Structures are given as structure tokens and as C-alpha cells.
């Protein structure tokens, strides 16, 4: 149990989940201090943190987790590291894998070294269910904490590498670590390269939604606040050295079903669906057994998928400036390269 008031170093706090986590944490534990270390890549956006930027318990460092000087300085007096910083998009990892190895593998190892040198009380690593590879549609099995690693994209391979390093620092050097491997998050502030915000913002722009291949791919969807609640519980009650899987669903749902739900919420017909060339090595199905964190820490998802999908659509409608500012120059170039004209 970590006692208040604590000083947290959040890496990647200007990204989608990191920003939601900082907003969640500062509301719940206003006495804690947070230092956000972020490189502000295309995915980092300080607009996400506008409502707390002036809070005296919050500080921002613009820097790279691969830069030892920066991270050693950021680590001063830190009790808890919550490590979100990563290159996070599978399609970008297929086009340009090197950055993923540098940030996700080398960057994580550099942070681990610095955390060890600075005697942090906890290093919590945020990872993904994608490290377990792909399940068949006909399979009734789900991933659990004992599933063998079998990553199939440069992104998931780099996250798998980082998970192994985090565990190695626990086993070899006794660094007090915990890991959560979660499923696909959705909610406010998600960069519109990911499926759900890409679909919503395309529809708002009256554009079609690209659906890879047959669209029968299955993801487990987790509302971002439920993910933040899970990290909170693991930080406060989790056992050192342990890994917890975090998921949001009990039943499979295909990408086509997700897009049909979004179209219904937005009063559009299915002519907005455009089947496009499939992603190479596309993982068919992810499904997460989250019974360990439920049994051991009493966590379960509280945000129903249908209800919070609707609220997420509302958020993008109400925050048009946020996503229009993101969908400019570099984004347009990426979109053209990824999807054609």
C-alpha cells in the first residue's frame, strides 16, 4: 500500500490514456504531485490537460524517455512511475518499425535503470493484450496471465520486449514493479488514427469509414476510465511483481458490429462503410479474461460499451475544435499514405 501524499512520474501523459489518467488521478488524489514527462510526438497533445495545467501539484517536462539526463532529472524524489509513453499504433509500426523498438524497448529499459538508481517505490508498466498474439474466431478461449507471449506485429513485439524487461528488472534487481496488459481503450482525447475516433470523426466530416478486410475482426473494448480505475487499484493494492489483465467485455463484438453501432448512434446508413485492403498480419481476435484482477483486487468494468460509445460520440461532437486541430497537415499526409486518396 502506497501512502499519500505521493509524487508520481507519468510518462506519455499528453497522450490519450496518460492524459485521462492524470485527469482522473488529480481529481481523486488532489494531495499527490504529478510530473508528466512527454516527448510530444504527433500523438502527444497538451490540450488534453488544459483543465489541470495550472494546478500547482502538476508539472510538465518536455523530453524523451530515451534521454538519460532528462529521465534522471525527472526521477528525482519520485515514489511511483506510471509508464505509458510509447509508440502505440499498429499500422504505423508496420510502415516504420524502428521508432517502436527505440521508444518502447530501449526507452523502457532506460527508465527501468533510472527507477532503480533512484529507489522508486513502484514502477508500473502499461502494456497491451496484443503481446499474446491472435485467437481464432471459433476459439472460446481468452487471454489470461498464463497465456504464452506470441506477438505478431512490430508494435506488439516491441511491447512484449518491454514487458520482459520490466519483469527482468524485478527478478534480477528487485525493482518493485507491476504490469497491466489491457485491451483496446476508447473514450475522450483518443487520437483519430485508432478505429473508433477515426470512424466518428470521419462520419462527422461526411467521409466513409475504412474497414479492413472482411471486418470480422474482434477486439475487447475498455472505456478509458475503467482502465484508470484498474491502474489505481493495482498501484494501491496490487502485489509487487504481478501482472494483471484488464478488459471491458464479456462477449465478442466484431469491427463491423462496432461501426454499425456508431452509424446508428449518428443516424447514418451503412453506405458509410468502405471495405479496404486488409492490414498485413492482422490479428483476428483478442479476448481478455479479467478474472484475476476481479478476484484479487475487486475490479470490474463499470462503463457499459453501448452507453459509453454513445457518450464518446457526444464528446467528439462537442469537441470539434480538438479533433479538427489534430486532423491537419501531418495527419492528412499519414491518412493519404495509409488509405490512399
Catalytic residues: 129-130, 155
Q: Which of 329, 339, 149, 170 is nearest to 241 (CA)?
A: 170
Residue 146: how many CB atoms within 10 A of its CB?
8
Closer residue to ligand TYD, CB minimum distance, 29 or 339: 339
Specify the 3-state DSSP secondary structure of 315: helix
Q: Does residue number 143 form part of the binding site for ligand NAD (CB under 6 A)?
A: no
CA 96 to chain CA centroid, nearest Å:
19
Query: Does an H or E element contain 255, and which?
Result: helix 255-265
Q: Are 27 and 53 in contact (CB under 8 A)?
A: no
Task: Indicate the residue among 110 and 203 with the shorter CB distance to ligand NAD.
Answer: 110
Per CB under 6 A, the list member of 6, 8, 9, 16 interacting with ligand NAD is: 16
Among 26, 90, 135, 157, binds ligand TYD (CB under 6 A): 90
Cα separation values, 82 from 18, 162, 218, 282, Å = 9, 14, 28, 29
Segment near ligand TYD (CB under 6 A); pick from 40-48, 133-141, 207-215, 237-245: 207-215
What backbone torsions phi and psi does residue 135 show, to the nearest 5 degrees? Answer: -100, 155
Nearest approach, Cβ of 184 to ligand TYD (angstroms)?
5
Residue in this structure with the C-alpha cell 458490429, named with its chain if needed: 257
Nine-digit cell string for 222: 475498455
Cell 464479456 identifies what position?
250
Q: Using CB distances below 5 to 8 A depending on partner kind, what does residue 253 bind out of ligand TYD, ligand NAD, none?
A: none
Pick from ligand NAD, ligand TYD, none: which does 134 bind, CB < 5 to 8 A by kind? Answer: none
Does 226 interact with ligand NAD (rule: CB under 6 A)? Answer: no
Question: Smallest distance, Å, CB 110 to ligand TYD?
Answer: 25
Q: Confirm or reject binding of residue 233 to ligand NAD (CB under 6 A).
A: no
Q: Tell whether residue 15 is a contact of ligand TYD (CB under 6 A).
A: no
The β-bridge partners of 9 are 35, 81
Residues of this chain that bind ligand NAD (CB under 6 A): 11-12, 14-18, 38-41, 43-44, 64-66, 84-88, 103, 107, 126, 128, 159, 182, 184-185, 191
Residues of this chain that bind ligand TYD (CB under 6 A): 90, 184, 194-195, 198, 210-212, 217, 219, 255, 279
Amino acid at each position: 500500500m502506497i501512502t499519500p501524499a505521493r509524487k508520481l512520474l507519468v510518462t506519455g501523459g499528453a497522450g490519450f490514456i496518460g492524459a485521462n489518467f492524470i485527469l482522473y488521478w488529480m481529481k481523486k488524489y488532489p494531495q499527490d504531485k504529478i510530473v508528466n514527462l512527454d516527448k510530444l510526438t504527433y500523438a502527444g497533445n497538451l490540450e488534453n490537460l488544459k483543465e489541470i495545467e495550472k494546478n500547482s501539484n502538476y508539472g510538465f517536462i518536455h523530453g524523451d524517455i530515451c534521454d538519460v539526463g532528462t529521465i534522471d532529472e525527472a526521477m528525482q524524489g519520485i515514489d511511483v512511475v506510471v509508464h505509458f509513453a510509447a509508440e502505440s499504433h499498429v499500422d504505423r509500426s508496420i510502415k516504420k518499425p524502428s521508432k517502436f523498438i527505440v521508444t518502447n524497448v530501449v526507452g523502457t529499459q532506460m527508465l527501468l535503470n533510472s527507477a532503480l538508481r533512484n529507489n522508486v517505490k513502484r514502477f508500473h508498466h502499461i502494456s497491451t493484450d496484443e503481446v499474446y498474439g491472435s485467437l481464432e474466431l471459433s476459439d472460446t478461449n481468452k487471454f489470461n496471465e498464463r497465456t504464452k507471449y506470441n506477438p505478431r506485429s512490430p508494435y506488439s513485439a516491441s511491447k512484449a520486449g518491454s514487458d520482459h524487461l520490466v519483469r527482468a528488472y524485478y527478478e534480477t534487481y528487485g525493482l518493485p514493479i507491476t504490469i497491466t496488459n489491457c485491451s483496446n481503450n476508447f473514450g475522450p482525447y483518443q487520437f483519430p488514427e485508432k478505429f473508433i475516433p477515426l470512424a466518428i470523426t470521419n462520419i462527422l466530416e461526411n467521409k466513409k469509414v475504412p474497414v479492413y478486410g472482411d471486418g470480422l475482426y474482434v477486439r475487447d473494448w475498455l472505456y478509458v476510465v475503467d482502465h484508470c480505475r484498474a491502474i489505481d487499484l493495482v498501484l494501491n493494492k496490487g502485489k509487487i511483481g504481478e501482472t494483471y489483465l484488464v478488459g471491458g467485455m464479456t462477449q465478442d463484438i466484431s469491427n463491423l458490429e462496432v461501426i454499425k453501432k456508431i452509424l446508428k448512434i449518428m443516424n447514418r446508413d451503412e453506405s458509410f462503410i468502405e471495405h479496404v485492403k486488409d492490414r498485413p498480419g492482422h490479428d483476428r481476435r483478442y479476448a481478455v479474461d479479467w478474472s484475476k484482477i476481479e478476484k484479487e483486487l475487486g475490479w470490474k468494468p463499470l462503463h457499459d460499451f453501448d452507453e459509453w460509445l454513445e457518450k464518446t460520440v457526444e464528446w467528439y461532437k462537442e469537441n470539434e475544435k480538438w479533433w479538427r486541430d489534430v486532423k491537419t497537415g501531418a495527419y492528412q499526409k499519414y491518412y493519404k499514405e495509409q488509405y490512399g486518396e
